[in-house]
Each structure stands twice: as C-alpha cells, then as structure tokens.
Amino acid sequence: MPTAYRIAEAAALLGVSDDTVRRWIDSARLPVHREGGGPATIDGAALARLATELREAPEPGTTPSSARNRLAGIVTRVVRDTVMAQVEIQAGPFRLVSLMSREAADELGLEIGVRAVATVKATQVSVDVP
C-alpha cells in the first residue's frame, strides 16, 4: 500500500506552512487524492518528487558547492571568546550549532538575526524511521 500524507504532515516534512501546501495543490504542483468525504491525502512518491525539486532550487545569494546538505536559516545566538565562536542557526525545525574561529564569525558578520546557510558534510549519516 503506498504511503500517503495529510496536508499538515506534508507541510512539516517539507518545512513549509499548511497554506503553502494548499497553494501547491490548488496550482496542480502537488496532486491530492480524496476518498469519499475523507481528508485530502498526498501520495508519498509525489511528495518526494516535490521535496527533490525544492532541494535542487539554489538558495538566493549562495555560491555553488559540492555539499548538498545546505540548510538556510537565521542566526539565533552567537557566543564569542578571544579565539572561538559558537554560532546557532535555526533552519526550519532544525537547530544547528557551529564552532568556528572568532575571526571567521567576525568576517562573516554573524550576529543574531542574520540570514545564514549551514552546510553539513559528514562521512556517516544515520537514518531512523518513526
């Protein structure tokens, strides 16, 4: 049996609002299925295709990179000492923390409220299924 998602679930997986998903449905960008009078559902494969399209869209103002795990967000905290800086970014539902030199944080102008893109490159990724 194919996996199907309700609008709120699809929105959470894509990191957008329910209204955005509804607009995509209304514009036929995302197909929806209704059985009888039941709630609208979105086929998992169609949702995966859209997620891939969204992933491939370049972030405005970013430089091309070989790293594919790029999460756009906003800086929520910066802690500097004389040598290092700890920078926290909220990217959708994800909180990312980066440790870097203070010089790098200063050169990038990282302060609370600044838009930033966190790039994650790892040799091993674990996958869990809820």
pTM value is 0.54
pLDDT value of position 1: 45
pLDDT value of position 102: 96
Q: For the chain, which residues make up each domain, given as ranges?
A: 4-56, 69-120
Strand positions, DSSP E, 21-101: 41-43, 69-80, 84-91, 94-101
pLDDT value of position 125: 67
Q: Which residues, 6 or more positions from 91, have their beta carbon under 8 angstroms from its beta carbon?
A: 71, 72, 73, 118
> Across the 130 residues of the chain, what is the mean pLDDT of every consecutive 10-residue run?
82 87 92 86 88 68 64 90 94 86 94 88 70
Kindly state the tokens that stand for 76.
């929520």
The class that CATH gives domain 69-120 is mainly beta
**In the CATH hierarchy, which fold is given to the domain comprising 4-56?**
Multidrug-efflux Transporter Regulator; Chain: A; Domain 2 (1.10.1660)
Q: How many CB atoms lie within 10 A of CB 15?
A: 15
Q: Which residues, 6 or more positions from 57, have their beta carbon under 8 angstroms from its beta carbon?
A: none
pLDDT value of position 59: 57
